[in-house]
A = this chain, B = another copy of it.
Amino acid sequence: MDHLRIEKLNKSFFETLPHRQIAVLVDGNTHRFCYPLLQNFLPKHKIISISSGEEHKNLQTSTQIWQALTDFQFDRKSLLINLGGGVIGDMGGFCAATYKRGIDFIHIPTTLLAQVDASIGGKLAIDFKHLKNHIGVFQNPVNVLIDTDFLKTLPFEELRSGFAEMIKHALIADAAEWENIKKIDIRNADWTQIVSRSIEVKKKVVDQDPHEKGLRKILNFGHTIGHAVESFYLENTDLKRKLRHGEAIAIGMICESQIAKEKGFLSEAELLDIQGFILSLYPRQFIAPSEIEIIVSYTSQDKKNWGKTINGSLLKRIGEANYDIALSEKDMKDSLWHYKSLVD
């Protein structure tokens, strides 16, 4: 993936772009905080501004983006620059990949989560009636520009959320990095090096299996239960305990590590190592006993049929993972009870 550049944004890169027409996709936040860092490096361009937040990653907002490209009379040789986090990259990429059957696009990820995860690997999508990433394509951007200066615009909680994916990358494929990760102080990190190493893990995996036929599934470690936890708190907004993605994945990694231990993959010492570090960094989420069954039901797309076994990815040991491991409803419930026992 020679299209990936980890460097300070600079004028010379943008001067060489061959595109006739350029637009930058932003949301309110990246328009205000990130666009000023990019603006002066760009040739003449348009701006497309959309509402921020996962709840806008849908067909309605995509229609706005397609309409803007149409109104600007963009032809097939135009370029869309996606300046923002995962929502901007996923949706802007999808709209670009489908506008006139595909125009070029560049990702400039501005969150830690997007820099180490969402911008790498060509997954593009929007949500469809509350199903996450249900409509989309695989398509690589012509470039991903990673400038860790953008991370200075982020609050601690947002950095910590993205950091969960870096923990995941170390746990599934890089035991040495796991030792490094544990020493990082998020508030004072020198991000360029550690972001590079984390991306390296994801790149290796997706280069081997770009369309997620097999190996790429190991990147779902922590996400089977993590997504269910995230969806539960998203849809039950009256609970007023909306979790960030990484906070949910942190819970998912603890739960799925406990399952891996129960299945004899991880040692007790490894489980303690993992959950000790995660609990030292992430909020301890109270889960009511009555909520456990409901959360497990969110692991299945079809909530009517959720009693079925589903497949997940589990650690074999720290630094290595397996995919397509059957997880029963009981495995998952027990693991949430285990998490609950740690935080209560």
Contact = CB atoms under 8 A, between A and B. Distances in A.
Interface of A: 59, 63, 66-67, 70, 73, 97-102, 123-125, 128-129, 131, 133-138, 211, 301-302, 305
B134 A73 contact: no
A80 B278 CA distance: 43
Contacts of A123: 101
A100 B134 contact: yes
Given A73-B302, A302-B73, A136 B98 contact: yes
Residue from the set A59, A70, A131 with the largest chain B CB neighbour count within 10 Å: A70
A123 B98 CA distance: 11
Question: How many copies, total?
Answer: 2
B63 A59 contact: yes
Nearest to A139: B137
A76 to B, nearest CB: 8
Contacts of A301: 73
Given A101-B137, A136-B98, A138-B101, A128 B66 contact: yes
A106 to B, nearest CB: 18
A11 B66 CA distance: 42
A295 B59 CA distance: 33
B97 A66 contact: no
A12 B134 CA distance: 33
Contacts of A66: 128, 134-135
A99 B138 CA distance: 11
Given A134-B66, A134-B70, A101 B128 contact: no
